[in-house]
Chains A and B, each alone.
Chain A
Amino acid sequence: MSSWFASPADASARLHATGYLADEATATTAYLAGALEKPLLVEGPAGVGKTELAKAVARACGAELVRLQCYEGLDEARALYEWNYKKQLLRIQAAGDQAWDETHDDIFTDEFLLTRPLLTAIRREEPTVLLVDEVDKTDVEVEGLLLEVLSDFQVTIPELGTVSATRRPFVVLTSNATRELSEAVKRRCLFLHLDYPDSEREREIVTSQVPGLSDKVATQLVEVVARLRELELKKAPSIAESVDWARTLIALEIGDLDEESVRRTLGVVLKHSSDHQRATKELRLAAAR
């Protein structure tokens, strides 16, 4: 039996305690990922709290977070492990007239191994949350590498043998869906799509993230954001933007979100000029001068 969460309700409560307000689906899926010891693939638009979910799980369970940020051109040496060949060279030079066999045995030991996030997560004895961020940015080859790690939680190093996890980490993969992941990776994961929250939950999130925000402004803000998401925009505002907006309003000491203040601060939530114009038109704000 794993020690992550006892039940979906427990997951929800403990995530809530760390400041992450999870909806029912998120809490249930997080519980299942822990109970079944399967990686969790989280997909959704930017800024809805995908990465934050992994951090919240780590905080809620008192685990350490190991993060692998993916990018184009990420390879085995950066993701898994690498031999510290400069140090190995030094060791060989320092060996003097030592026999080659001994030196050889010496330089392929733990001391010369540089562990990268995947190997680090597997070798840790304490509870670990492994976050593989933006996995869709990597090349297809890295996915193949992930397969072995994700299904058996083991890594094969030719010189050292196979390293198996003594304690399976809680794995979270996040993706923006810019590329279809391969079926093989998806099959091994539980899938969770995070979307924009309903207005009730969003209001809770904003007020919990931004202390000092009055209920009235929070309600108005969430309403405007919900309205903006219904428009055909290039980039709909996400939770991160709502929170930023709330912080802006606090900084500017705006106590009432009227048309004038919406118009003045719209730049915080909308990042395209055409989106700006559309919103101004649809919300019938006075045209910006």
Chain B
Amino acid sequence: MTLLDTHLGFVEALRAAGLSVSLAEGLDAIAALERIGWHEREVVRTAYAATTVKKQSQRTTFDAIFDLYYPRLVGEGVASEPDPDAGEEPVGGLRDNAEALGAFREELAAALEAGDDQRVQDLAVEAMARFGAMPGRGPGLSSWSAYTALQRVTPQELVQQLVAGLLGAGADPADAERVAGARVGTFTRLVEADARRRLAEEKGARHVADVVLRPTIDRLDFTAARRADLEEMRREIYPLARRLAVRLTKEQHARQRGPLDFRRTVRASLATGGVPLETHHRPRRPHRTELVVLCDVSGSVASFAQFTLLLVYALREQFHKVRAFTFVDQVHEVSHHFTPGGDVVEVMENLAASTAHAARWGRTNYGRALTTFADEHADALGPRSSLLVLGDARSNHSDLALDTLRDLAGSARHAWWLNPEHTRHWGTGDSAARAYGEIVPMVECRNLAQLGEFVHDIL
């Protein structure tokens, strides 16, 4: 394969992953590479990044694809050549056995403790070479597995050893644990990356790119997110809220020309000899809604509800007043947890703790939740308020209380229902999405991008 083929394949893979790389940008990349040459991998990466990636959120995707098309090394690289000084036999010839595993783990522990990044990287490659191979499988099946390698090496068990080592070096306990966890995490990621590299070598980069890439954080489904993803998403909430707020103020300024500001117009006309060439207007008073959020916090949709609540509260200034209620089968008000300037982590902990109040029997029951809400908190809804219901509308085949919802929606100014499930799953199984959707407009909201769009639209 020539360099040009690799380049074209790479650009093609970027486009397939959702980066809009235009022809001109591809040409820019080539022009840039002509200037700097191919001798250093990180410089090549920088040149590609500068010319083709124009959004930071896409950088992770870019890096993953770059590693596939321009791998760090091919095969075993230099590691497989026998080391003349030590007189060892080549690593390639040494395979999996108990003795090798013991020695390898000791070496890994030492490297992790010293924080030697280069050595850890080499060891990750070696781990795949020794313990990750699955030779003799049928054609079409992958012959490398990061899972197998990690199962054999069990780096998680090294954490304790590592903590002890760091404590010996004079670190304090919490720090030691944090550092140890982070280093082992890095090793795990390196092994996974090396597995991808080997697979790409075997089957072609394109194939692997299609299979292993995850969507960027703002396109990732709430329901498919792992714990690390959720943390990353939480960090995204405030920047998202800030972006939305800026966009909203700007649009309000552009859209709203209120009544004529007589004073300013006359004053401005002095510059043009008393002729009012330009009229000045007072800004119109912004309309602020009262928002009532009713959210399902049962296990299946809990993270989605938390994100929406966080975003709504981050945008508090845009609303006149916000009241939030959580439910599983009972309704519980949580508005008081969101204090102005409150700390995000604390709010999340309080929310999680208060979930217990929302469940009496522990099975989601929309009908009962709506009825209790109508009985106890009907005063929350008025002609100035908007109702926002969050949930997947999966009610365990119980009574849906459609009439109650109709009444609630009728007494509010607007009503929406956000559903974290894909539209194609609505109405399947015990989902009452179709039935509820007839009363209250239902919107699909699966990721941060959609959530941001929705919140922007209702304001």
Contacts of A277 in B (CB 8 A): 343
A183 at the interface (CB under 8 A from B): yes
- Choose the segment among A21-29, A49-57, A113-121 that binds chain B (4+ C-beta atoms closer than 8 Å): A21-29
Q: Which residue of A lies closest to B35 (CB)?
A: A35
A182 to nearest B CB, angstroms? Answer: 11
Size bracket of the A interface: 35 or more
**Given the contacts A8-B36, A24-B42, A36-B31, A274 and B341 also touching, CB distance less than 8 Å:** yes
In whole angstroms, how far apart are the Cα atoms of A7 and B47 in the complex? 13
- Choose the segment among B184-192, B246-254, B280-288, B398-406 that binds chain A (4+ C-beta atoms closer than 8 Å): B246-254
- Choose the segment among B17-25, B65-73, B123-131, B300-308 that binds chain A (4+ C-beta atoms closer than 8 Å): B17-25
Which A residues from 1 to 16 make CB contacts under 8 A with B? 7-8
B255 to nearest A CB, angstroms? Answer: 13
A191 at the interface (CB under 8 A from B): yes
**Given the contacts A192-B50, A274-B342, A28 and B246 also touching, CB distance less than 8 Å:** no
A232 at the interface (CB under 8 A from B): yes
In whole angstroms, how far apart are the Cα atoms of A180 and B246 in the complex? 11
B347 to nearest A CB, angstroms? Answer: 10
Complex contact A179–B342 (CB within 8 A): no
B344 at the interface (CB under 8 A from A): yes
A87 at the interface (CB under 8 A from B): no
In whole angstroms, how far apart are the Cα atoms of A29 and B53 in the complex? 13
B54 at the interface (CB under 8 A from A): yes
A186 at the interface (CB under 8 A from B): yes
Which B residues from 30 to 64 make CB contacts under 8 A with A? 31-32, 35-36, 42-43, 46-47, 49-51, 53-56, 59
A281 to nearest B CB, angstroms? Answer: 9
Q: Which residue of A lies closest to B53 (CB)?
A: A191
Apart from the given pairs A28-B50, A29-B46, A32-B47, 20 other A-B contacts in the complex at a CB distance below 8 Å: A25-B42, A28-B47, A31-B35, A31-B36, A32-B32, A32-B35, A35-B32, A41-B54, A177-B239, A180-B55, A187-B25, A190-B51, A191-B49, A191-B53, A191-B54, A193-B56, A232-B235, A234-B344, A278-B346, A284-B174
Q: Which residue of B lies closest to A234 (CB)?
A: B238
Q: Which residue of A lies closest to B249 (CB)?
A: A72
Convert A176-220 into 0s and 1s, putting 1 for each residue whose CB lies closer than 8 angstroms to a CB of B: 011110010011011111000000000000000000000000000
Q: How many contacting A-B pairs (Cβ < 8 A)? A: 87
In whole angstroms, how far apart are the Cα atoms of A190 and B54 in the complex? 8
Q: Which residue of B lies closest to A188 (CB)?
A: B24
Query: 30 pairs across A/B with beta carbons < 8 Å?
Result: A8-B36, A24-B42, A25-B42, A25-B46, A25-B49, A28-B43, A28-B46, A29-B46, A31-B36, A32-B36, A32-B50, A36-B28, A41-B54, A43-B56, A72-B250, A178-B243, A178-B246, A179-B246, A179-B247, A186-B54, A187-B24, A190-B28, A191-B49, A191-B53, A193-B56, A232-B344, A234-B344, A274-B341, A275-B343, A278-B345
Convert A223-245 into 0s and 1s, putting 1 for each residue whose CB lies closer than 8 angstroms to a CB of B: 00000000010100000000000
B242 at the interface (CB under 8 A from A): yes
Contacts of A29 in B (CB 8 A): 46, 50
B414 at the interface (CB under 8 A from A): no
A272 at the interface (CB under 8 A from B): yes
Convert B214-256 into 0s and 1s, putting 1 for each residue whose CB lies closer than 8 angstroms to a CB of A: 0000000000000000000011001100110011001001100
Contacts of A8 in B (CB 8 A): 36, 43
A139 at the interface (CB under 8 A from B): yes
Q: Which residue of B lies closest to A7 (CB)?
A: B36
B63 to nearest A CB, angstroms? Answer: 12
B313 to nearest A CB, angstroms? Answer: 12
Contacts of B24 in A (CB 8 A): 187
Complex contact B49–A278 (CB within 8 A): no
Contacts of B345 in A (CB 8 A): 232, 278
Contacts of A168 in B (CB 8 A): none
B177 to nearest A CB, angstroms? Answer: 13
* Pairs of residues from A and B, 6 with the lowest C-beta to C-beta distance, nearest first: A186-B54, A274-B343, A190-B50, A178-B246, A28-B46, A193-B56
Q: Which residue of B lies closest to A273 (CB)?
A: B341
Which A residues from 228 to 274 make CB contacts under 8 A with B? 232, 234, 272-274
